[in-house]
Amino acid sequence: MKKIILFTGLIISLGISWVVYAQNKAKSRTETVTEYDKKAKKFITHKESYVIYNSNGDIIEEYGYDKKGTVNKHIKTEYNSFGKKNKEIHYKDNTSAVKYIVEFVYDSRGLKTEELEKTADGSKTTSKRVFTYGF
């Protein structure tokens, strides 16, 4: 009986590991939503988001869509050599024009200490978010 339980636990563990591995190795993910439209009196499906991952499983680009399929969010993300988020470039809706940039600052332990929102050209900080930790 113990062997069966142990074997079952091993199989479940391997299955969970495979799912996590597959999710981490995905190149992209599309999310769709189906909602009932009272006016049209039918269900309508539309793409809500599209995400692109790098080989480490980190998001490098993401898009958001409205119900008509128009891009209403576009963000590119860059990472530093330690795999920490370094910069987000936020674009104006459905264009290639930069809306603003967010830069991330970390301390020597790798803890995020600041998020700096900057103008489109990165020359001026428009807002600053500070993170402190208690140990």
CA 80/CA 39 separation, integer angstroms: 48
Label residue 110 left, alpha or beta by phi (over 0 means left) and psi (-120 to 50 means alpha).
Answer: left
CB atoms under 10 Å from CB of 85, counted, come to 17
Q: Which helix (H) or strand (E) holds 94?
A: none
Please provide the size of the chain in residues. 135
**pTM of the predicted protein model:** 0.75
Structural domains for the chain: 28-130 (2.40.128)
Structural element, H or E, at residue 20 = helix 2-24
Query: What pLDDT was estimated at residue 93?
Result: 79
pLDDT of 125: 97
Q: How confident is the model at residue 23 (pLDDT cuts 50, 70, 90)?
A: low
24-68, pLDDT tens digit by residue? 678 999 999 999 999 989 999 999 999 999 999 999 999 999 989
User: DSSP strand E in the chain: where?
Assistant: 28-37, 42-53, 59-65, 71-79, 85-91, 98-106, 112-118, 125-130
Token code pair at residue 33: 């939503």
pLDDT at 8 over 60: no
Neighbouring residues of 15: CB distance < 8 A, sequence distance ≥ 6:
none
Query: What would the pLDDT profile of 62-119 be if each residue is shown by its tens digit?
Result: 999 998 999 999 999 999 999 999 999 999 977 899 999 999 999 999 999 999 999 9
Q: What's the pLDDT at 25?
A: 79
